[in-house]
Each structure stands twice: as structure tokens, then as C-alpha cells.
Chains A and B, each alone.
Chain A
């Protein structure tokens, strides 16, 4: 059970990372295609939900962890920050229909790079597990 939960939790984190890489290509001036953007959005959504659900399940499943451990609470806060920034960034990145690069406004760009920052901070907390 533990290994299955861990696999789906980590796989979800890889979905999040793939979504971030795709959105970063848009932010850096890469061409934006409707299909590519839709898949990025699905990866970000499924990855976000999966990391949260399987992460909480893992915390409840193992006696070594408690849901109120400091590093788990920190991870949850970072998850919400990344999700909030991601929602703002995704709204500002919509394809125009001809595979062109997007003219991204400053707020959208900041929201995207903040999402990257929160995600990396989340990764550090999950691997380091401070206090565990």
C-alpha cells in the first residue's frame, strides 16, 4: 500500500513538473498551440490534485508521519501558494490559434515564475522534511 501511494504521489509531482516546464516554454516565448496548452493544464490539474490527495493519504497511512507535522503543514501552504499563482498564470496564457508566441503581460509572467518558485520550495520541503 505504502509503495503504491508513494508511486502515485511522486508520479503526480512529475505531472506538475511537466506542466511547469510546458508553461515555462510559453513564458519564454515558445509557440503556443491549443493542444499543448490543454495538456499542460491537464498535467497541472491532475498533478496538483494527485500530490494533495496521495500526500495526505500517505501522511495518514504511516505512523512515522502526522498530518500536523510542521513540514507537512509547510508543504500544504506551499501547495496552495503554487496553485494560486498557477491559476493566475494560466488565465493569462491563452493561445491565439496559429502556434504563435504569446504576448504575456508582466503580472502573468510574475505569477508564472512565482509558481515555479513555490513548486521548487515545495520540492525542497518534501525531500528535506525539516523536523522529521
Chain B
């Protein structure tokens, strides 16, 4: 690893940049969703509940697509697509498992936002489940950031 990782070939720059940009958008949007949903849990605010789910829809999902596309691209460039390295495994597992949870969040969020639009008042158990899922996702992606930077074998 050492010198190769420190100063990598310049043709890896764009795929890596795409991957990191997507990951930052994903984690940033999930952080916003977690803070909004936790605050809404305490106050019952419909505005914050809606913000939490909108940040998943407009931030986390596009971020995941960009991050995952970048991951495949850089793995192809580095010849690591079929690698059994632990850190690659952790990255792809967190990414793909996370996508399933994101889809579950989208469905829950869609149902809750529809109820908010009909002026139905909370609190909703499903919003609390979603808060737990967002927090879990955030922890999972921070583990992936650790694996990507420390590259455990």
C-alpha cells in the first residue's frame, strides 16, 4: 500500500473524486435526516419530519448512486472488482445493505409525508422506526469510511 496509496496514478483521480463526492453527499444527507427526525421525535414537528425524509429522497439516494457508481469505476481501474480484501468486502457490503435500508426508508417516508400533506397529526411509530434506521445507516457508513481509509486486511 504505502507510497502507491499516498501518490496514486492521476487517471484514478476522477473515479475516486466521484466516489468520495457521492459518499459525502450520502453521509451529509443522512446526518441531516437523523438530526431532523430526532428533533421531530422530541417536538412532533411535521416540518422537520418532512425535511428528514426529503433529505433522504433528494440527498441520500442520489449520493448513494454517485458513490456506488464511483466505487465500481475505481475498483475496475485498480483491478479490485473481484478482490477478497476485507476493506473492499466491508465497503461493498455496507453499500449494498445500505441501499436496501434506503429503499425501506423511502417507502416509510413516502407514506408519512402523504399523511402530513393530509394534515394528519403525529407522532407516528413508523417515523420513529425510520429514525432508528437512519441512525443505523449513518453508523454503518461511518464504519465504511473507517474501512476505506485504514484498509484493514
A interface, by DSSP: helix, strand, loop or mixed?
A: helix
Q: Contact mask B32-49 → A, CB, 8 Å, 1/0?
A: 100110010001010110
**Could you tell me which B residues sit within 8 Å of A by CB distance?**
3, 6-7, 10, 13, 16-17, 20-21, 23-25, 27-29, 31-32, 35-36, 39, 43, 45, 47-48, 51, 54-55, 59, 142, 145-146, 148-151
A36 and B39 contacting across the interface, CB-CB below 8 Å: yes
**Could you tell me which A residues sit within 8 Å of B by CB distance?**
3-4, 6-7, 10-11, 13-14, 17-22, 25, 30-31, 33, 35-36, 39, 43, 62, 64-65, 99-100, 120, 123-124, 127-129, 132
Given contacts A3-B149, A7-B149, contact A127 B39 (CB under 8 A): no
8 closest A-B pairs by CB: A21-B28, A17-B24, A18-B31, A31-B47, A3-B150, A18-B28, A7-B149, A99-B47
A10 and B145 contacting across the interface, CB-CB below 8 Å: yes
- Distance (Å) between the CB of B8 and the closest chain A CB? 8
A14 and B145 contacting across the interface, CB-CB below 8 Å: yes
- Distance (Å) between the CB of A124 and the closest chain B CB? 6
Chain B residues within 8 Å of A7, by CB = 145-146, 149-150
A sample of 15 more A-B contacts (CB under 8 A), given A22-B31, A31-B51, is A3-B149, A7-B149, A10-B149, A13-B24, A14-B27, A14-B145, A17-B25, A21-B31, A30-B51, A31-B45, A35-B39, A36-B32, A36-B35, A120-B21, A127-B16
A64 and B7 contacting across the interface, CB-CB below 8 Å: yes
Given contacts A18-B31, A22-B35, A36-B39, contact A99 B149 (CB under 8 A): no
